[in-house]
Amino acid sequence: MQNVKTYILLFMFIAIGNWAHSQSHPKLILTQKGVKEIRAQIDQLPLMQSSLDKARAFVDQEMAKGIDVPVPKDMAGGYTHNRHKKNYMLMQKAGVLFQITQEEKYALFVRDMLLEYAKMYPTLDVHPVKRSYAPGKIFWQNLNDANWLVYTSQAYDCVYDFLSAKERKTLEKDLFRPFADHLSVDSPQFYNRVHNHSTWGNAAVGMIGFVMNDQELIDRAFYGLKSDNIKEDQKDNDGGLIKMQGDGKAGFFAQLDHLFSPDGYYTEGPYYQRYAMYPFVMFAEAIENCRPDVKIFEYRDSLLVKAVQTLLNLTDVNGLFFPINDAQKGMSYLSRELVSSVNIVYHFGGEDPGLLSVAEKQGEVMLDDTGLSVAKAIKEGKQRAYQKKSANYGDGASGEEGALGILRAGKADAELCLVMKNSSQGMGHGHFDKLSFSLYDNKGEVLQDYGAARFVNIEQKFGGGYLKENKSWAKQTVAHNTLVVDRISHFKGSTDTGNKYHSEPYLFDAGNEQIQIVSAKERNAYPGTEMHRTLALISDDKFEKPLVLDVFKVKSDEEKQLELPYHFFGQIISTNCEYQVAEPLTKMGDAYGYQHLRLEAEGLTDEGSAKLSWFVNDRFYSITSAVNSEDKLLLVRSGAEDPNFNLRRDPAFIVQKNQQKEAVFVTLIESHGKYDRVTEFADNAFSSISQVELLLNSDDYTAVSFEDKKNNKWMLILANRDAGKKSKHQLRINKTDYEWTGAYHYVPAQ
Amino acid sequence: MQNVKTYILLFMFIAIGNWAHSQSHPKLILTQKGVKEIRAQIDQLPLMQSSLDKARAFVDQEMAKGIDVPVPKDMAGGYTHNRHKKNYMLMQKAGVLFQITQEEKYALFVRDMLLEYAKMYPTLDVHPVKRSYAPGKIFWQNLNDANWLVYTSQAYDCVYDFLSAKERKTLEKDLFRPFADHLSVDSPQFYNRVHNHSTWGNAAVGMIGFVMNDQELIDRAFYGLKSDNIKEDQKDNDGGLIKMQGDGKAGFFAQLDHLFSPDGYYTEGPYYQRYAMYPFVMFAEAIENCRPDVKIFEYRDSLLVKAVQTLLNLTDVNGLFFPINDAQKGMSYLSRELVSSVNIVYHFGGEDPGLLSVAEKQGEVMLDDTGLSVAKAIKEGKQRAYQKKSANYGDGASGEEGALGILRAGKADAELCLVMKNSSQGMGHGHFDKLSFSLYDNKGEVLQDYGAARFVNIEQKFGGGYLKENKSWAKQTVAHNTLVVDRISHFKGSTDTGNKYHSEPYLFDAGNEQIQIVSAKERNAYPGTEMHRTLALISDDKFEKPLVLDVFKVKSDEEKQLELPYHFFGQIISTNCEYQVAEPLTKMGDAYGYQHLRLEAEGLTDEGSAKLSWFVNDRFYSITSAVNSEDKLLLVRSGAEDPNFNLRRDPAFIVQKNQQKEAVFVTLIESHGKYDRVTEFADNAFSSISQVELLLNSDDYTAVSFEDKKNNKWMLILANRDAGKKSKHQLRINKTDYEWTGAYHYVPAQ
Ligand SMILES: [Ca+2]
Ligand SMILES: [Ca+2]
Ligand SMILES: [Ca+2]
Ligand SMILES: [Mg+2]
Ligand SMILES: [Mg+2]
Ligand SMILES: [Mg+2]
Ligand SMILES: [Mg+2]
């Protein structure tokens, strides 16, 4: 079916391949109509005017310093790398400034710099730093060269009509055509795969193809190379297989078909999705402008629109991306890539007024037709609050390789959001975090995913690259809020094995205001062990904020040690456990992340429920977990075996059950109260929960309850093997019969 | 001289003692004139209107629940404690609401609650919790009873004319008079001393005295009890001697004469000064209203005005008080006490427009004549930015018991502020932190004082009281940025010894924009060891922000181990030391705070300067310290021997010099650069300093230099024994002769 669609498209392009020939420039991102409108309206549009002023300030300052096109030499972070990066940003902005201000100096600057590149490029071999699976010529890796061309093709488009035919000929012959060839035919391992790197390559080749009106390049961008010689086991620098996805397809349509799930979820997670979005939305805008007949924004059921909306929903209250997989914390929808994405999807994707409030927070618009739409709509007051929602995003090209579940409840101060990773591994940047979750409130992180161990672009820290501890700690299972069996990570820490499997979503129901629920199973992370976790976000007037109920069921072939960590922040306020503090502190293990943990205290309780309360950001939080008197409670902290002080010293609370073939962890998490450091008044500083209990556990059913200090009692029964909405169940628990329809039965307190 | 003044005042009061008799109420804090003006203008004054609305919302909500005057039973944090505290707040506000809104319901509420108290009070013995050196009847300590009366006398004043003569008689006979007597004649150990507790007592007795027009109580408030039987060695709950200050004087004027230095500095430090200010400014307002002839705001060279201005200058960029001595971090000029102080000092103390911008940040005004002035002035746009400044505040009643030095330089992003404690111990809440400093930038703390180990009013943490670790860690020398000799705290950790001495300020010069300097000596903290520290804040265009140069000279009778800690935050980025990480982690000692520290790494360097760079709040900081190849560099962290997890896990960098009779620590501190997590761009992430050197050290002179990576060199020469501004010096260093006038000679790079 996909093939048929592709051939139809191919036919259409051949048929109409030349109609753009007579068009004038700019036509790629800026259009002639757009330039005219922007010029007429910009002084009435503060957001666009300030974006222009910012671009002008940057370009003017740099133009004053003169042009520098150094011979490529340095690795990322070094001078020539940074200079060439700045050059393409400058050229792109200068091109736009030329069109909008019509000041010739900007066109001259672009022209002169391009001619410098055209002079140098034919003299270049591949980059002298030989560390990439696909080296560039300007940069150490082709990925950066592709970045260069994506930006520079926009600059070329803006000055195209300004240049003489002779200048254009020089540039195309000596620079752009060989540049595009190096990215593609000369680097099939980079270009001819389904991967975000290749997307940059496809977009670069396609965008310059449009500007040059070179149909061969456009076809190459859309459908890839006709042949390559990539070996089956060839890998990239992240250890990812080159030939993995796409059934041998390549090119931009293959990326659209395979890199996103039907829900617009990108398997590497939001941090990388953010990075990947830019070539997608920019090339799509170029296609829409140059080939509107393709209807690219409608392609695959409006995939690109969905991808941006999904990405915006993958953020916490501050717009920070959920840091699953390799992700540096702090990256947010304020990033450059998201400015483009939001503008383009607003303009071409149905003008959702919620996007305008995100654009307002971004405080910047693109200097093109899409930014104009956004600036005008905001000026007209069309913006509405962006509504984030509960959602279950299918993973994988088919949407059937697991899912990422998000539950949201509560308003304002009471806002709570839970993210559960029931998806596939996430490729080379994936973490061993099956069924893990993280928790956010209206200030930000409460129970964290550590994120990546990396200081991006901070040279002192391994040149800004991934630190050794990223693999030895951040990726490991114990660095996540999920079960560790026998102190070994999921898939024994093998990415190749992890890439073969995905968790199985069992249940997702966000339709009930009282209880929203997400549930999934995992059978492959530990062969012989089945894990089934259910997380519920419960809203009840008897509590200040929603509660999280966590039911983690495990069944194994043999007796195992089971450890379930909760990674919190801040200071411990109280616990009901009797514990011994460790002295001295030693590392807890030698592998799978335990070498980076120190045990600070170990305790037991015979109260049936272990409770830990802590204090951070002037708020209180409590975890109450059903335990028996043999279960151990561990207080641990990261930072062992960390000679370069690369890791944060963050605490975690681990519930440990020993020698179990079958066990259920039942845990309730409260966010409660607050402290005012000025009035020194503590409000609701105590947990409201007196008891959490496992009532029943069988292969078919698991029933749990919790009780508050006023003896109100809540119960949840889960059907473990039949999530059918219409399935009827009945069960006797403590001499009471329960009957219900559907996968779960929730009995709130009266 | 003080005595003469006191007698003159006393005579004046006797002479005119009765003139207020015919005045109507309110007259204490609110005045009849004030009420009239507030009623006429409040709807034009947003800040006053919102303050009224807030008070009304609070009182209405609580009035709806009815009156509860429980029999006293609980300790701080318990129900009866909190209820009685809420009651006095409610009565005070209800009284004000009655006056401003003239709604009778508020007067009735105050009347009915007061009559409940009048019914109960005669039946009460002292409070059943016998833990205070001076128990109250309503609360466990008289301090809280005094709080009650300070607030309630305002309420009584507001409803005085509303009540029948019979009601007034009942209240005065059964409640107010015996209440005032219990605070004073029945509790001389509480009332008749120079202390913030007694100030509350004096104010309480004086304020109810004014309302009741009871001259005996007014005299008792002004001058204390004529006789007491306090023993010389009697102590309060904080271990403070009852008879310590004031030469046997007591009463409000004795507090004014002895609790503050002439600069308005309060020896316990700003956290306690904030708490102490309320009875001072409120009683002063009452005195000004009822006895304007006293000219209380002019008393002692306008001491109260100075005290408030000094307190406001003892804050960081966020208005947070410098947490020297026992102080919970987070307390700021937004506190209730500072709202009163700022309003009262604005109105009665010269209408400084800078105070208005503080009032705006507070977002609230007093509902009285002073709040009216502030709200009107803000409405008229008179507010100016509050100008914080460099200052050297003398400590002690005479201003000659050491000083607290503050240096400020840089604007906006480049703002830097340094606080050096060269004062006296600070009484029972004092820390062993002679010559310690802390550093702040435009975001807040950079090099911290730990503050107190306490969670005020968080019941789970030892009832909200001072934790054991406050004494064993927070007070100890090693918890501060100052020198520890032989791992023993100053004065061997004895508060009584510490109270006998103060450091000797040597030099303070904030008059030079290029270099501001504070210098002090300490000879008593370690008998036989002289310490002389000089801190300079250097502004130079060659650096992004001001630099801190720290020259710490030590001379001892015998060889000592010298350790100088710098308590930073965040993650280590790099160091030039060759270090071994410790494994396992053990506590560093058994006493003086070292039992709470773990050594994480220990290193050496033969580069002449040891450097540590770290990263916090997305900024970079570096310390460079002149060392020889035997000096050790320690990376440590707090948290050992902390079974209740009462301490934060904060890091410190310690420069250790061993077996030294004489040594100089020369250290340069840079705040540089920033990191943007959205663009992932690191700016100025590297220290600019290549070398820090000790050029010369003798009893008379110390000369140091530092150099940047471009080989620019700066030099500072200090005359160690003659700080005379006009003294002439000459010195040969490395074959160059230097001549200068004054205590120091600064030679910046060309
Ligand atoms: Ca019960
Ligand atoms: Ca010794
Ligand atoms: Ca040099
Ligand atoms: Mg990658
Ligand atoms: Mg992770
Ligand atoms: Mg005290
Ligand atoms: Mg301290």
Interface of A with B in 298-357 (CB under 8 A): 328-332, 334-336
- Tell me, yes or no, if B686 comes closer than 8 A to chain A by beta carbon: yes
- Cα B407 to Cα B412: distance, rounded to the nearest angstrom: 16
Which listed residue (B106, B272, B501, B746) is catalytic?
B272
Identity (one letter) of the amino acid at B741? T
Nearest beta carbon to residue B680 from set A456, A600, A642: A456
How many A from CA of B715 to the centre of ligand 3? Answer: 14
The ligand whose atoms approach the alpha carbon of B692 most closely is: 3
Candidates 2.80.10.50, 2.70.98.70, 3.90.110.10, 3.40.50.720; correct CATH number of A391-747? 2.70.98.70
**Interface probe, candidates A333, A680, A686, A687, chain B, greatest B C-beta count within 10 A:** A680
- Tell me, yes or no, if A687 comes closer than 8 A to chain B by beta carbon: no
A632-638/A619-626 β-pairing: unpaired
- Tell me, yes or no, if A618 comes closer than 8 A to chain B by beta carbon: yes
pLDDT in tens, A642-667: 999 999 999 999 999 999 999 999 99
Q: What is the pLDDT of residue A246?
A: 65
How many A from CA of B560 to the centre of ligand 2? Answer: 5
Contacts of B613 in chain A (CB under 8 A): 460
- Cα B38 to Cα B369: distance, rounded to the nearest angstrom: 8
> What mean pLDDT do residues A253-269 have?
96
**Interface probe, candidates A460, A462, A616, chain B, greatest B C-beta count within 10 A:** A460
> How far from A622 is each of A414, A569, A688, B646, CA to CA, in Å?
15, 12, 9, 17
- CATH code that applies to domain B66-259: 1.50.10.100
pLDDT in tens, B432-442: 999 999 999 99
Percent of chain B with pLDDT over 70: 96
- Which residues, by Cβ under 5 Å, contact ligand 4, an ion? A 238
Which listed residue (A121, A191, A265, A272) is catalytic?
A272
| CATH fold group of domain A66-229 | Glycosyltransferase (1.50.10)
Q: What is the pLDDT of residue B19?
A: 41
- Cα B658 to Cα B674: distance, rounded to the nearest angstrom: 36
Q: Is B21 tagged catalytic?
A: no
- Tell me, yes or no, if B679 comes closer than 8 A to chain A by beta carbon: yes
Of all residues in chain A, the one with the smallest CA distance to B86 is A681
How many A from CA of A467 to the centre of ligand 5? Answer: 14
A403-409/A416-422 β-pairing: antiparallel
The ligand whose atoms approach the alpha carbon of B749 most closely is: 3
Q: What is the pLDDT of residue B6?
A: 53
Bridge partner list, B548: B537, B669
Q: What is the ipTM of this complex?
A: 0.91
Nearest beta carbon to residue B585 from set A330, A336, A598: A598
- Nearest-Cα distance to chain B for A330, in Å, is 5
- Over chain B (750 residues), the average pLDDT of each successive run of 10 is 52 44 81 97 97 98 97 90 96 98 98 98 95 95 97 98 97 98 96 93 98 97 88 78 73 95 96 95 98 98 98 98 98 97 97 98 97 98 97 97 98 96 95 98 97 95 94 98 98 96 98 97 98 98 97 98 98 96 96 98 95 96 96 98 98 97 98 95 94 98 98 98 97 97 97
Could you tell me if residue B420 is left (phi over 0), alpha (psi between -120 and 50 degrees) or otherwise beta?
beta
**Interface probe, candidates A619, A633, A645, chain B, greatest B C-beta count within 10 A:** A645
Interchain proximity B581–A643, CB inside 8 Å: yes
Percent of chain A with pLDDT over 90: 91
Q: Is A429 tagged catalytic?
A: yes
Q: Are B333 and B388 contacting, i.e. CB atoms less than 8 angstroms apart?
A: no
Q: Is the pLDDT of residue A11 over 70?
A: no
> Would you state the structure tokens that stand for residue A562, as one six-digit string?
């089971």
- Cα A224 to Cα A205: distance, rounded to the nearest angstrom: 10
> What mean pLDDT do residues A21-43 have?
90
A250 φ, ψ (degrees, to nearest 5): -150, 180
Interchain proximity B460–A685, CB inside 8 Å: yes
Grade residue A700 by pLDDT with cuts at 50, 70 and 90. very high
Q: Are A524 and A501 contacting, i.e. CB atoms less than 8 angstroms apart?
A: yes
Average pLDDT for chain A: 95
- Tell me, yes or no, if A637 comes closer than 8 A to chain B by beta carbon: yes
Q: What is the pLDDT of residue A274?
A: 96
> Would you state the structure tokens that stand for residue B708, as one six-digit string?
């940047």
Map out the domains of chain B as residue ranges: 66-259, 403-747
B373 φ, ψ (degrees, to nearest 5): -60, -45
Which three-class secondary structure state does DSSP give residue A732? strand
- Tell me, yes or no, if B648 comes closer than 8 A to chain A by beta carbon: yes
> What mean pLDDT do residues A197-201 have?
96
Q: Is the pLDDT of residue A691 over 70?
A: yes
Q: What is the pLDDT of residue B14?
A: 46
Q: Are A282 and A340 contacting, i.e. CB atoms less than 8 angstroms apart?
A: yes
How many A from CA of A452 to the centre of ligand 5? Answer: 7
Candidates 3.10.129.10, 3.40.50.1100, 1.10.1040.10, 2.70.98.70; correct CATH number of B403-747? 2.70.98.70
Which listed residue (A25, A127, A258, A429) is catalytic?
A429
Q: Are B285 and B29 contacting, i.e. CB atoms less than 8 angstroms apart?
A: yes
Interchain proximity A598–B583, CB inside 8 Å: no
Cβ contacts of A480 within 8 Å, gap of 6 or more: A431, A432, A433, A436, A449, A450, A565, A567
pLDDT in tens, A579-629: 999 999 999 999 999 999 999 999 999 999 999 999 999 999 999 999 999
Of all residues in chain B, the one with the smallest CA distance to A328 is B677
pLDDT in tens, A152-161: 999 999 999 9
